[in-house]
Structure 1
Amino acid sequence: MNRLAKEKSPYLLQHAHNPVDWYPWGDEAFQKAKKEDKPIFLSIGYSTCHWCHVMERESFENEETAKNMNEKFVCIKVDREERPDVDHIYMTAVQAMTGQGGWPLSVFLTPDLHPFFGGTYFPPDRRYGRPGFPDVLNEISRLWREERTRVMDWGQNFVKAFKEERDMSGAALSEETLRRAYESFHGIFDAQEGGFGGAPKFPRSETISLLLRIHRRTGDAHALTMATRTLEKMAHGGIYDHLGGGFHRYSTDAQWLVPHFEKMLYDNALLAKAYLEAYQVDKNPMWAGVACETLDYVLRDMTSPEGGFYSAEDADSEGVEGKFYVWTEAELQKILTPEEFNKVKAFFQTSSQGNFSAEGGSASGGENILNMNETTLWEERYSAPLKSAMQKLLKVRSQRVPPYKDDKIIASWNGLMISAMATGAQVLGNTSYCQAASKAADFLLKNLWDGKNLKRRYREGEARFQASVDDYAFLIQGLLDLYETDFDSRWYEKALALQKRSDELFWDEKAGGYYSTDTSDPTLLTRAKEVYDGAVPSGNSIAALNLLRLYAYTLDDHYQMKAQKLFKAFSGFVSQQAHASPALLMALDFATDSSKEIVLAGSLTDPQVIEILKKIHQKFLPNKVIAVSDPQKSVNIIPLVKDKKNLKNLPTLYVCEGHTCQKPVHLVEEVEVVLSRKREYKLY
């Protein structure tokens, strides 16, 4: 057993019994490298990473390879989900060196932590056009012994280049930036299969949500088509878990059929929200069904007893990718009645030949990934005999060996799921989603926030690692969405406190925008400032929207000024690569629209108040804030609600734009009229 046995990270614990003398990231390893004059081998991954498992089996569990590593290197393991800051620095280095990146990330460093060589997965011998890992170890060791000056220069040159901050500012952002983004998406949209670009295909939830906003303000039918066609094809495909709900990480093909089977909390939060927004737009019951099944999956399989949401489920079970999810027709016939089997075969397009092979060859094993026939209706899954068949299959599947579950609780990802659950409660009227969001928020605020600093990760009673700007921004967003669901003002108060601390830790007073990390870790080579949306939106993108919402609530100009400075800080980059930052463009859409401040004065127990709130939540109104002034509460702490009272002893709705209010209304029928206004623009 090595030093990783003392860690809490599920990923590090997976490697605790390797013969490699692994160290966690920290001074003990760094000092050993300096004292023994050895280069560092840094391996970064995460617990549900398929190729991380493969490299472990092939190399890190190999006694001879481990002996070579231990003799010539100081070996460090990092969980990228615990330390995204470390991962970002060295991923950037490897991408600069090789033109590509991914996990496992394999990087060689000087004892001063300067990267000089790297890659991703290395096989045990030369294959796939990659050198064998033992050969890499031997060559790096030779370079360190015989060409030290060259190696040190490589590392220093990279660090010098990396520390040179890019000026990403430019001309002010406007609706023209939204037009450019639309054109980019239009150019790579797959009209037949949905999605953007070819295989592999990723969900790109933020792109879908942005297109819904563009459609709302321009009326452009193709913007809506790009969003809904993608949502439809994903929901039909194997990337969606038709029995258990929820989405897998990505599709290996252009048809969304064969996924990489891991399930990530953040994907399911972002996708659930995208489907809910689409349902607000066109009321297609399929969108509500997918969102409901996805959130129910999280409640069933990804929620801790204390209320926090777990991180991920592995792609593999019993060492085979996808084994938990696939079916042969022989298995189906054994479980189902003939009528049920025939319905499943037609609806989910199974065959005796199958459509999947875990080894990546032809589907000769007869294994089927369930995927919907496009000619069938989504609603059929809720009626006999298909409903009973699906229930039987889910019960049988639950008795299989499940994929490994990473049960650490990450602040940022929990913030995203709190937001999704709150939105689900608003749009679908399901109180269990609000309860789950509230319980998760309470858990995070109790265990990860001490009133001054937020921690990133919780597991087995331990809160650890300084939170990043993503953790603060995503949690603030979740708390604001939760406030707009149950109107408990403590969520608003906590959001304000977190925003204040985020500004203190991360804000760049000189150029604007937020750094990803604070200044507390001297081992980090630089402080990055990100606006690119990857698997999750950038912290700056979500922070921009938070600032605009807080300005609307508080009437405090400094929030709006910060948002404008943030837009300016990244305007050059975003103008050139508008498609790369769809979440920031959603904040821009808010800023350039006639965004609404809505106050409903009345008791939350009044049926008419409840009906008005339902009416508001059913509409797609992304550029709004909403607060309740409840006369039964002695203090309304939100400045927006000041002096807004119920008139004539009736629930009263105030709708304002730029803090200029329209005439108050009282009737549910009047709500539609006062909410309908938007600032339109044209795409052509």
Structure 2
Amino acid sequence: MVNRLANATSPYLLQHAENPVHWWEWGPEAFEEARARNVPVLLSVGYSACHWCHVMAHESFEDEATAAYLNQHFVSIKVDREERPDVDAVYMQATTAMTGQGGWPMTCVLDHDGNPFFAGTYFPDRPRHGQPSFGQLLQALVDAWQTRGDDVRRVAGNLREHLNQQAALASGQIGADTLAAAVATLAGEFDGHHGGFGGAPKFPPSMVLELLMRHAARTDDDTAHAMLDATCEAMARGGIYDQLGGGFARYSVDRRWVVPHFEKMLYDNAQLLGVYARWGGPLGDRVARETADFLLRELRTAEGGFASALDADSEGVEGKFYAWTPDQLVEVLGEEDAGWAAQVFEVTPEGTFEHGASTLQLPQDPEGPGAQRLADVRTVLLAARETRVRPERDDKVVAAWNGQAISGLCAAGLLLGERAYLDAAVAAGELLATVHTVDRRLRRVSRDGAVGRHAAVLEDLGCVASGYLALVQATGDAVWLERARVLLDDALDRFRADDGGFFDTGVDAEALLTRPRDPSDNASPSGLSATVHALAEYAALTGSGRHRQAAEEALATVATLAERAPRFAGWSLAAAEAMLDGPLEVAVVGAPGPDRDALEARARRIPGAVVVVADGPREDVPLLAGRTDVGGRPAAYVCRGQVCERPVTDPADLP
């Protein structure tokens, strides 16, 4: 028996298609059904790689008695937060307002107009630690709905009014002083022993690392350098990084990066790929190459896009695919190599994870003959791991995260000299430009080459536009410049707020409880910060004052956030760093060969710079217009803030 989710495009919703719960997808039909039956709406929001979403599904949504009660007393709606980030954002805001915290699975109970009167996250199947069971909670909510209707309506109405009291964001300028103060604040939150910021759980601070990289390059700030280097090295050597297959897990449950929450998200790996490629050095290059290879090997879809995530669990056990015991090493490697590998990867008899198993860490790279021995051991262990039951893959293609993957692959392809990464970036871009673009409007998701019905949100437009602009710089193909312009003009036309900032949904989008607008970065850039980057990059490539001004005005709306909580404004601050420096625009022109390659290699290592390369002047990419070689030698033209310096032919003369 299947429910209404059997026809869904979301893999997460399809995971619930055989639940005994009579699930509905989000839409007016579900609310009409609730109104006709005079029952409340239960809204459950999660995503496919969410461990506790799976736990709650197994405990409650697969339970016949719980399902029967839900079916009798509620209309139940299941939402994939990755497919409908607008719905998720609105009700997460409500959950946070009502409980002081949020997370997934998210559970809200709504009236017939979508107003929440109860919100929470995970609820167990039995009372635990002072928390009621899910069944007890449902009974209490039904009682309130049936006997205290006035209270329910009052709570729902008050919350709706509170959420709609959305004043314009306070504006200000993000200048050099703001950026210096942000780095000082970050230094106060920095974990000097283990890298990263704050305590456990600890998330990869991708956007903050980019900020630190740009700030260190602009100011030669030793503190920024130190925080960047320590964090990049600690994550790359910890259990959060897959020491066999490449790629990063979503976060570490401890402050030392030892034990991850094992799901692997595209958005994390796409961003970290670019960070490590730009950080460089032997470790940065290795991690970037391995992470890019992971994307192509495990997340790439048949259509050329990239799947959203890999689950944390396999065979119902979190981390089983990735963790190792000493006995398992012996079984695969034999006694001698297993003993050596256990020391190198810190696999202990007690285990660093659960059930005597350990995550693999690599505190230092073996030298001399040990380097080849490590390579051989990794190859054997990876092959053995491939025989294990793999975690499930959420194979929907999300526009924003594929835009990030394109940007990361372009950086890695150019800086590592790997053509395959650039080819993969182009293929993903073509998928977004064709399958995901309908009537010149971007849509958020596709699966198996079929586009979904949900419109793009601002995050999609900003990240995909940046991906397209990365392709302009990587390939020189001006078609990507025009495709970026279409997206950015759409953002300016339909998403812009009166104060110069942006809403997360278009003016013509489905009306929800409130129109979402969150400028803070989380694991992925906010729609605003992503769009600011794209606007600034487009302006640098074309000289468009309109797009430059829009970037500056939008950035001004997050000045207060940037001052108070720079960890949640890292991508906006990274954009401000680049814009304070111009952003730096570099056009490298001349005949292909070692001289031009040397100029290009140096230019592409400048953090935050916009770089294009061509054989000679071109009108279809304005930054290349009128640019020629100098005396028959390839030359680099450096401009910032619409002011250009004299062309240089020696890489040492570049900034």
Using the size of structure 1 for normalisation, the TM-score is 0.93
- Taking the TM superposition and a 5 Å limit, the aligned residue runs for 1:266-285 are 266-279=267-280, 284-285=281-282
Residue aligned with 1:383, SS: helix
1:421 aligns with 2:406: no
Q: 1 CA distance for matches of 2:339 and 2:477?
A: 50
- Give the residue type in structure 2 aligned to 1:672: A
Shift of 1:541: 0.9
Q: Which amino acid counterpart does residue 638 of structure 2 have in structure 1? A: V
Q: Secondary structure at the match of 1:385?
A: helix
Q: Which residue of 2 aligns with 1:172?
A: 173
- Render the CA deviation track for 1:255-309: whole Å, top value 9, x for unaligned: 1111100000001111111212221xxxx31111111111111111110122100
Kindly provide the amino acid, as one letter, of the partner of residue 296 in structure 1.
D
The corresponding residue for 1:485 is 474
Q: How does 1:241-390 map to 2 (within 5 A)?
A: 241-279=242-280, 284-357=281-354, 365-372=355-362, 374=363, 376-377=364-365, 383-390=371-378
- For 2:111 and 2:594, how far apart are their aligned partners in 1? 67
1:622 aligns with 2:612: no
Q: Which amino acid aligns with 1:75?
A: S
Q: Deviations over 1:563-606 (max 9, x none)?
A: 22112223233333333201101111112124322222224x44
Corresponding position: 1:403 with 2:391: yes
The equivalent of 2:494 in structure 1 is 505
Equivalent residues of 1:2, 1:16 under 8 A apart: yes
Q: Find the counterpart in structure 2 of residue 444 from structure 1.
A: 432
Question: How far apart in 1 are the matches of 2:47 and 2:59?
Answer: 17
CA distance in 1, matches of 2:614, 2:250: 42
* Shift in Å, 1:542: 1.9
Aligned-pair CA distance for 1:451:
5.0
CA distance in 1, matches of 2:256, 2:563: 31
Greater Cα offset, 54-63 or 451-460: 451-460
* Alignment gaps of 5+ in structure 2: none
What residue number does 2:127 align with? 126
Give 1:380 shift.
6.9
Residue number in structure 2 paired with 1:551: 539
CA contact under 8 A between 2:585 and 2:639: conserved in structure 1?
yes
Letter in 1 for 2:610: V
The amino acid that maps onto 1:494 is: R
**Equivalent residue number for residue 528 of structure 2:** 540
Aligned residue type for 1:352? P
Q: Secondary structure at the match of 1:553?
A: helix
Deviation at 1:378, TM superposition (A): 6.0
Give the equivalent residue in structure 1 for 2:566: 578
1:9/1:408 contact within 8 Å kept: yes
Shift of 1:96: 0.7
Question: Which secondary structure state, in structure 1, belongs to the residue aligned with residue 587 of structure 2?
Answer: strand
> Is the partner of 1:466 in helix, strand or coil?
coil
Once residues 368 and 606 of structure 1 are traced to their aligned partners in structure 2, the CA distance between those partners, rounded to angstroms, is 49
Q: Does 1:88 align with 2:89?
A: yes
Q: What does residue 641 of structure 1 align with?
A: 624
Aligned to 2:557: 569
CA distance in 2, matches of 1:405, 1:623: 33
Distance 1:383 1:567 in 2: 46
Counterpart contact for 1:265–1:413, Cα < 8 Å = yes
Alpha-carbon distance between aligned partners in 1 of 2:26 and 2:138, rounded to the nearest angstrom: 20
Q: Deviations over 1:607-652 (max 9, x none)?
A: 43233212322x2x12322223434x8x531222222223433323
Is contact 1:381-1:387 (8 Å) kept? no
Report deviation, 1:91.
0.6
In the aligned structure 1, how far is the partner of 2:458 from the partner of 2:131?
Answer: 36
Which of the residues 582, 588, 600 maps onto 1:613? 600
- Tell me which of 633, 650, 663 is aligned to 2:646: 663
Q: Aligned partners of 1:640, 1:382: CA distance in 2, in Å?
A: 48
Name whichever of 136-145 and 182-191 sits farther off. Answer: 182-191
Question: Counterpart of 1:30 in structure 2: which amino acid?
Answer: F
State the one-letter code of the partner of 1:636.
Answer: E
CA drift of 1:182 comes to 1.2
Task: Return the offset for 1:213.
Answer: 1.7
Q: Are 2:214 and 2:608, in contact at CA under 8 Å, matched by a contact in 1?
A: no
Aligned to 2:580: 592
Task: Report the Cα distance in structure 2 between the residues aligned to 1:486 and 1:82, rounded to whole angstroms.
Answer: 31
Q: CA deviation at 1:519?
A: 2.9
Tell me the distance in 2 between the aligned counterparts of 1:594 and 1:451: 35
Unpaired runs of 5+ in structure 1? 358-364, 677-684
Distance in 1 between residues matched to 2:564 and 2:325, nearest whole Å = 49
Task: Give, in whole Å, the separation in 1 of the partners of 2:169 and 2:15.
Answer: 40
C-alpha change, 1:401 and 1:533, in structure 2 (3 Å) is same
Where does residue 47 of structure 1 map in the other structure?
48
Which SS does the other structure have where 1:108 is aligned?
strand
Partners of 1:454 and 1:472 within 8 A in 2: yes
How many positions carry a matched residue from both structures?
653
Please list the CA deviations of residues 528-583 of structure 1 after superposition, one character each: whole Å capped at 9, or x if unmatched.
22210101011111211222222222222111211221122232333333332011
The answer (yes or no) to whether the contact 1:286–1:379 under 8 Å persists in 2 is: no
Range 334-343 or range 424-433, more displaced: 334-343
Counterpart of 1:577, as a letter, is A
Give the 3 Å change call, closer, same or farther, for CA 564–523 of structure 1 in structure 2: closer
Counterpart check, 1:467 vs 2:456: yes
Q: Give the C-alpha shift of residue 220 in structure 1.
A: 1.9
Map Cα deviations across residues 346-397 of structure 1 (whole Å, 9 max, x no partner).
Answer: 101112222221xxxxxxx32121112x3x3266798332221111111011
C-alpha displacement of 1:657: 2.4
What secondary structure, in the 3-state scheme, does the structure 2 residue paired with 1:654 have? strand
| Paired position in structure 2 for 1:679 | none
Structure 2 counterpart SS, 1:384: helix
**Aligned equivalents of 2:459, 2:473: Cα separation in 1:** 21
- Over residues 4-34 of structure 1, what are the superposed CA-to-partner deviations in whole Å (9 max), with x where a residue is unaligned? 0011110100000010000000121111011
Name the % identity.
40
- Moved >4 Å (runs of 4+): 378-382
Amino acid at match of 2:474: T
- Superposed CA RMSD in Å reads 1.7
Helix, strand or coil for the counterpart of 2:79? strand
Distance 2:566 2:332 in 1: 50
| Equivalent residues of 1:59, 1:66 under 8 A apart | yes
SS in 1 for 2:381: helix
Give 3-state SS (helix, strand or coil) of 1:418's partner: helix
In the TM superposition, residue 115 of structure 1 has moved relative to its aligned partner by 0.5
Greater shift in the superposed pair: 2-11 or 557-566: 557-566
Superimposed CA distance per residue, residues 189-225 of structure 1 (whole angstroms, 9 cap, x where no aligned partner): 1111111111111111111111122222222212111
Moved more, 639-648 or 428-437: 639-648
Q: Distance in 1 between matches of 2:529 and 2:369?
A: 38
Using a 3 Å threshold, how does the CA distance of structure 1 residues 186 and 264 change in structure 2: closer, same or farther?
Answer: same
8 Å contact 1:8–1:460 — kept in the other structure?
no
Cα displacement (A) at 1:661: 2.1
Q: What is the aligned partner in structure 2 of residue 361 from structure 1?
A: none
* 2:629 aligned counterpart, secondary structure: coil
Q: Which amino acid aligns with 1:543?
A: T
Secondary structure in structure 2 of the residue aligned to 1:22: coil
Distance 1:378 1:12, change over 3 A: farther
Do the aligned residues in 1 keep the contact of 2:561 with 2:569 (CA within 8 Å)? no
Residue 643 of structure 2 corresponds to residue 672 of structure 1: no
Deviation per residue, 1:660-679 (Å, 9 max, x gap): 2222233xxx1221x22xxx
CA contact (8 A) 1:343 1:385 kept: no
- Secondary structure of 1:458's counterpart equals strand
Letter in 2 for 1:230: T
Counterpart Cα distance in 2 of 1:577 and 1:520 = 32
